Structure 1
């Protein structure tokens, strides 16, 4: 597996660390447990990291020296990828058993996989995690992707032996925006650990976190503009005051002090007169998130756009209904009217209306929470994801492309 900027070892919550880190870590862990040895190649961003770090049964993380050994924004990494490729080649040459397949995560890793397919005859499967053309469409001038991204993505779509799309919306985007061959696409979603994220007693969770026993809305995720937390705060300000609701915002840059975006959101809450009912708790370790989901009546995830969206699954696994944006993977994972409700992005009024409908209705919340947990168990466990990925990887490894045949 190649994941140039998203290491399984990284601390979650930063600008460039989140769902992809979780996906790579959890999928690698499950594949290793299924008997498939996995090496995860990622860029060394700390001089103190050894080259090889044992991660779990059958899984190692290989820290590749490419560019400076420090954190670099992911949109500035592509210039280091030839060095990354060469280091990967050297490491692969020293492995007696060799590799059967490359699984590339994100477009820069896909570029390395294309090179390895050409030079080493290694078949590869691709998970994009985000598509440049969608990002450009949604962010416009704010998109900081390097100019090489489009050509690299088009090359990946043309050369990959298998592409793992995480939701039906991505299948549509790959076929319409990139001309991908539907016959080479596999629908393999992201997943959630149902043991880490599981139902807890709501009142006990609130007490443990020092939260009042009142209707509670939670947001968990990165604090960046596209996540729509400002729309959530504006919606919260529109709720009837007699509802007595509280909003808990979990996320931010690891380390001391609020990020500029967190400070902006706090100022917005103050300007709207709701700061006393909004709690910003900052970044929290993965192991603590279950308590926040469990303490909430409703979890909210209303990004402007979202390739998949991991936090709605985490909330649903905790039997907490989700109000989510009708975008990307969220409009698939959240069953509208069954496990939560969907709203248009950037629409505080619609969001406030859905919250005002749900928060006073305890029987509806209970029913949706049970359905949410059931949907996760039926569709989105990491075990199910790993089985789907294994099938896609078998397709890729058995591809009859010229490069793969040459390698054999």
Structure 2
């Protein structure tokens, strides 16, 4: 089966969306399917064509940027070529170009599947408001032309202003989660590298982006430090020159300076390092603010490494802790509630721990890839929906 995958950003750009697509695309290629990615050449240093893990990547030149979006004058040409090549078209929203690609799928008789990752919530401002309107309009056009819309959880689907309009088309496929089993020697080396002995370690894994709620954790620190004066936050992920987040980073800089003895940026980590990072944490925090976060893959990665989680009580985001019992949820933007939940988990950590196998039974890449494969094959064969 020839599968065309279209999304605005792809690896090496780091986000939950790009990691999701990379994992499933790689798994589908390993199952013997031909997979091509159509995406933006958001960095001119990236090659226009590249093959990674048997997945072919076509990057289209970017002419201009609007907020976090990109304008690619030749995207239509490449979309036409690749839709003609494909047996199924798989789009990832939010994406401004999705409607045009979905239309081509309809015109050329190719099944179109959308995966909707999150609602877009851009920062205030006229330009961002116009960008929001444009992306929402194109996403709704794409939904009308799609055969199926996939999302992570029924909880998110029913609460999303976008997805709730198309529930008859919505199918739930759990997201792909994978992380190596933490090796004791790697964990010991990680703890030594970052001088973690004798410290309570609170982990956060994300981009330094406004919707991630980093300031909520910073505001919770005084209450946590009153009980655990040796507490340290380790932040894993991109934190310098994050696309579209420069002003946010400048706004938080004074708080980072204030807590410099309790806050450490460890940067982007490779998978084995991420496993060691999660296993080194006493608790991992996901204090996201809004529906731009629809699940939070990192919280399941932490659980697979034996670490409980405190997450925002948002549709979709609250599902992993409720499914596994490995943590608590708190109202978004509530730093006092976040501090109390972190302290509760730290005080009774064994009550929030579960075996890795129990978590992996709910979330794993092979399950996700198999469910997509079955969906694509059913649509291609014209048998209707599984």
The TM-score with structure 2 as length reference comes to 0.85
Alignment of 1:175-186 (within 5 A): 179-182=165-168, 184-186=169-171
Shift of 1:327: 0.8
CA RMSD between the two structures? 3.0
Aligned to 1:124: 112
In the aligned structure 2, how far is the partner of 1:346 from the partner of 1:398?
47
Inter-CA distance 165–336: structure 2 relative to 1 (3 Å threshold): closer
Shift of 1:375: 4.2
Relative to structure 1, the CA distance from residue 192 to residue 178 in structure 2 (aligned partners, 3 Å threshold; closer, same or farther) is closer
CA shift at 1:193, angstroms? 1.3
- 1:173 Cα deviation after fit: 3.7
- Equivalent of residue 278 in structure 2, options 264, 278, 293: 293
Aligned residue in 1 for 2:56: 60
Distance in 1 between the 2:48 and 2:253 partners? 41
Alpha-carbon distance between aligned partners in 2 of 1:268 and 1:260, rounded to the nearest angstrom? 14
Say how many residue pairs are matched.
372
Q: How does 1:286-325 map to 2 (within 5 A)?
A: 286-305=271-290, 306-325=293-312
Q: Which residue of 1 aligns with 2:175?
A: 190
Helix, strand or coil for the counterpart of 1:370? coil
- State the secondary structure of the residue aligned to 1:330: coil
Match of 1:345 among 318, 332, 338: 332
Matches within 5 A, 1:7-406: 7-8=10-11, 10-12=12-14, 18-57=15-54, 59-65=55-61, 67-68=62-63, 72=65, 75-77=68-70, 79-80=71-72, 83-91=74-82, 98-106=85-93, 107-132=95-120, 135=121, 143-144=128-129, 145-173=131-159, 179-182=165-168, 184-195=169-180, 198=182, 200=184, 205-239=190-224, 241-243=226-228, 244-253=230-239, 260-271=247-258, 274-305=259-290, 306-335=293-322, 338-361=325-348, 365-371=349-355, 373-399=356-382
Determine the C-alpha separation between the residues in 1 that align with 2:197 and 2:182: 22
Stretch of structure 1 that moved more, 349-358 or 283-292: 283-292
Taking structure 1 as the reference length, the TM-score comes to: 0.81
Give CA deviations for 1:216-257 in whole Å, capped at 9, x if unaligned. 10111111122111111111211253423222222334579x
The answer to which structure has the higher strand fraction is 2
Aligned counterparts of 2:35 and 2:183: Cα–Cα separation in 1: 32
1:264-304 CA-partner distances (Å, limit 9, x unpaired): 43412555xx4322223344445422222111100000100
Displacement, 1:155? 1.7
Q: Point out where structure 2 has 5 or more consecutive residues left out of the alignment.
A: none
